[in-house]
Structure 1
Amino acid sequence: MCEMNSVGNVPSSILVTGGCGFIGTSLISALLKMSPDLHIRVLDNLSTGSEQDLAGVAIFSRLSVDAAADAQSGVVFIQGDIRDADIAMKSAQGVDCVVHLAANTGVGPSVDDPRLDMDCNVIGTFNMLEAARVNGVRKFIFASSGAPAGEVEPPIHEELPPHPVSPYGASKLAGEGYCSAYYRTFGINTVCLRFGNVYGPRSKRKASVVAKFIRQALHDDVCVIYGDGTQTRDFLYIDDLVQAVVLAIGGSVGGETFQIATGMERTVGEVANIIAKALVRRGVEMQIRHDSPRLGDVKRNFSDTSKAAHMLDWRSQMEVPEGIERTLDWFLGQT
């Protein structure tokens, strides 16, 4: 397991939106290991994660948003939606930091329903930023993506002019824009983290490549690669991502955007083969077929992470083959 560094400046009270999901539960687990007395408020509509997922990493109380606003200790869960401005406002009362993970994620869903994607990722993010402003929250961490950059010659870095291809990229770019405005106008220390293609334990419901292929193979379903498999992504292990979020929470940086990835370009076909070989060693055959490329997908995507290394003192540690082995072990342990 990657070692989680201790960060002394982590605030005592944190709101995590989307905290029942894959990244949220992984972050909460790491934060509580660092500081068991931390007050964590979780806002989630349970569209993807579940209370059982949260219970796997924390003992929590389920409260109404009004009751949760008065809670000052322990882990508290609020079932609610970031698109509801009143719930967003009340959920941020009395916290020191908002980690905004809740979103409509992925290119495919945004192409299928662009309006839903906009409602969640633009209106929802605006609601949380406005809640932070009104409630005097000084730190706001925004989960973004490489998608705002669009079809550009990689490696992607923070100074590239954005040209999003998908509605998802456009909605995340809007979130980044509002974070910039709320830093420069209202003084909230916003930090936008552009996550790579995240994988790892607890990703049982994630729809991206690694988790989807493992899930399909273990159910004896055919794994579909859209296109010829030469499209590239930057695959980031969950522990490395969580460490970046923790450093952003505890650091003094504000008004910045960071690429959080490995800086390594791997094709989807290559990663599928790594998964297939790891499955064979466990007695499982993986069936692969190719289908037409998806609308909104970019051909190449990997990141230059030098800014995060310089300003956050963050670097990824996990190599993809080892990360996939650990992810597979977790999936097999769930069956």
Structure 2
Amino acid sequence: MAVLIYGGLGHVGSWVARKLIDQGQEVIIFDMGAARFSSLGLDYLEEVRDSITLESVDVLDSHTMIEMALKYRDKIDAIVFGVAVIAGPTFKDRPFRNVSINTMGLLNALEVARILGVPKFVNLSSGAVYGDRPGGQTEDTPFTVTDLYGATKVANEVLATQYGATYGFDVRNARLYFVYGPGKRPEIMHPLYQAMFGPLAGMSDVHSANGGDQELDWTHVEDTAAGILALLNAEGMNGEAVNISCGVAYQHRDIVDRVAKLLGKESGMTLGPGPFTPRGAPLDISKAQSKLGFAPKYANIDAGLADYKTWLDKDPR
């Protein structure tokens, strides 16, 4: 049997795929980047390419998606939905497109689960469902919507949970938070990410207009993927939502300083005042720890930064 990953060539999805393969699981990936796989620089997936079935699928093309999924109808025993336009100040610039990808894309994947009778569905949600509530948010913290991205994540959780309840399949919501690490080059990200992590890739003199006064729990991508797999594999979690993050908040200017210390030099990175996005931190990960046995390897961000640098150093690009 196989796990179907929507967005399996994205930052988080690609690491979920790699960890599933390491566990001996067959993996099918639906991703618009399938035709460009060899140019994506995902060395950790290239190493296991023979264990991956890749299909180029647009999550907004429901007819093609269902036709493609039908090819594997007797093989899929779980779906992980990880397609998303990420949060950030530019999300609002193309609202219909971005909301459609996040939420209509999920609905199309839920239809695949319903039509094929897939027994388990993991929706990659976000701590954005808590909005700007102060840190220590547990899974019982009420939904608070403070931006369009957060609205898509709240809608997706409600829709996924109700689809599962209505049509009799197991739905789980993994509430992820801010992710960094191997598989994502800083230069393709927003200015705050570049200012914090860019020096690890040789970048310098980047200014982020805001974010300097905010602290968030930035989670290494391998920890994020490990938490998702733990939720996928756990018994008795139908209908549950679980926070998956490092559980430790770091002030953004502190991250800039830690990167400089790791490199032994300053890179001229500056952060403007105020928050980057309306979020509180850290997420409370007690539920993940107790019910999933989740233990972030890189809760200390210094170790995570060093690992990220190692990956960037060996990337020929």
Common topology (TM > 0.5): yes
Cα distance 1:224–1:182, how it changes in 2: closer, same or farther (>3 A)? same
- What is the alpha-carbon distance in structure 2 between the residues aligned to residue 285 and residue 116 of structure 1? 39
Question: Tell me, what secondary structure is at the counterpart of 2:151?
Answer: helix
- What is the alpha-carbon distance in structure 2 between the residues aligned to residue 199 and residue 217 of structure 1? 12
- What is the alpha-carbon distance in structure 2 between the residues aligned to residue 269 and residue 285 of structure 1? 13
Q: CA deviation at 1:301?
A: 2.2
Q: Which residue number in structure 2 is paired with residue 260 of structure 1?
A: 244
Q: CA deviation at 1:87?
A: 2.7
- Which one of 216, 227, 233 corresponds to residue 233 of structure 1? 216
Conserved 8 A contact 1:231-1:267: yes
Q: Which residue number in structure 2 is paired with residue 81 of structure 1?
A: 58
Conserved 8 A contact 1:117-1:171: no
- What is the alpha-carbon distance in structure 1 between the residues aligned to residue 131 and residue 263 of structure 2? 33
Conserved 8 A contact 2:248-2:282: yes
Q: CA deviation at 1:247?
A: 1.4
- Which one of 135, 140, 164 corresponds to residue 154 of structure 1? 135
1:113 to 2:102 alignment: no
Q: Which residue number in structure 1 is paired with residue 289 of structure 2?
A: 309
- 1:123-272 alignment runs, 5 A limit: 123-204=104-185, 207=189, 209-210=192-193, 213-215=196-198, 218-227=201-210, 229-252=212-235, 253-272=237-256
Could you give the per-residue CA deviations for residues 49-80 of structure 1, whole angstroms, max 9, x where no partner exists?
8444457514548xxxxxxxxxxxx4211112
Cα distance 1:51–1:322, how it changes in 2: closer, same or farther (>3 A)? same
Q: Which residue number in structure 1 is paired with residue 10 of structure 2?
A: 21
Question: Tell me, what secondary structure is at the counterpart of 2:124?
Answer: strand
- What is the alpha-carbon distance in structure 1 between the residues aligned to residue 155 and residue 172 of structure 2? 14
- What is the alpha-carbon distance in structure 2 between the residues aligned to residue 86 and residue 240 of structure 1? 35
Could you give the per-residue CA deviations for residues 112-168 of structure 1, whole angstroms, max 9, x where no partner exists?
222122110110001101110111001111111111210112212111111121111
- Which one of 272, 277, 299 corresponds to residue 261 of structure 2? 277
Amino acid at match of 1:45: M
Q: CA deviation at 1:218?
A: 3.5
Listed as ranges, the gaps of 5+ residues in structure 1 are 1-11, 62-73
Question: Tell me, what secondary structure is at the counterpart of 1:180?
Answer: helix
Amino acid at match of 1:186: Y
Q: CA deviation at 1:299?
A: 5.3
The TM-score, its normalising length taken from structure 1, stands at 0.83
- What is the alpha-carbon distance in structure 2 between the residues aligned to residue 240 and residue 109 of structure 1? 27
Question: Tell me, what secondary structure is at the counterpart of 2:22?
Answer: helix
- What is the alpha-carbon distance in structure 2 between the residues aligned to residue 249 and residue 228 of structure 1? 33
Cα distance 1:114–1:215, how it changes in 2: closer, same or farther (>3 A)? same
Greater displacement, 78-87 / 213-222: 213-222
1:300 to 2:280 alignment: yes
The number of equivalent residue pairs is 306
Listed as ranges, the gaps of 5+ residues in structure 2 are none
Question: Tell me, what secondary structure is at the counterpart of 1:92?
Answer: helix
Cα distance 1:301–1:178, how it changes in 2: closer, same or farther (>3 A)? same
Instruction: Calculate the aligned-residue CA RMSD, in Å.
Output: 2.5
- What is the alpha-carbon distance in structure 1 between the residues aligned to residue 49 and residue 106 of structure 2? 25
Q: CA deviation at 1:107?
A: 2.3
The TM-score, its normalising length taken from structure 2, stands at 0.88
Amino acid at match of 1:261: S
Cα distance 1:133–1:154, how it changes in 2: closer, same or farther (>3 A)? same
Q: CA deviation at 1:292?
A: 6.1
Greater displacement, 243-252 / 321-330: 243-252
- What is the alpha-carbon distance in structure 1 between the residues aligned to residue 203 and residue 297 of structure 2? 32
- What is the alpha-carbon distance in structure 2 between the residues aligned to residue 181 and residue 328 of structure 1? 42
Q: Whose helix proportion is higher, 1 or 2?
A: 2
- What is the alpha-carbon distance in structure 2 between the residues aligned to residue 224 and residue 91 of structure 1? 44
Conserved 8 A contact 2:213-2:275: no
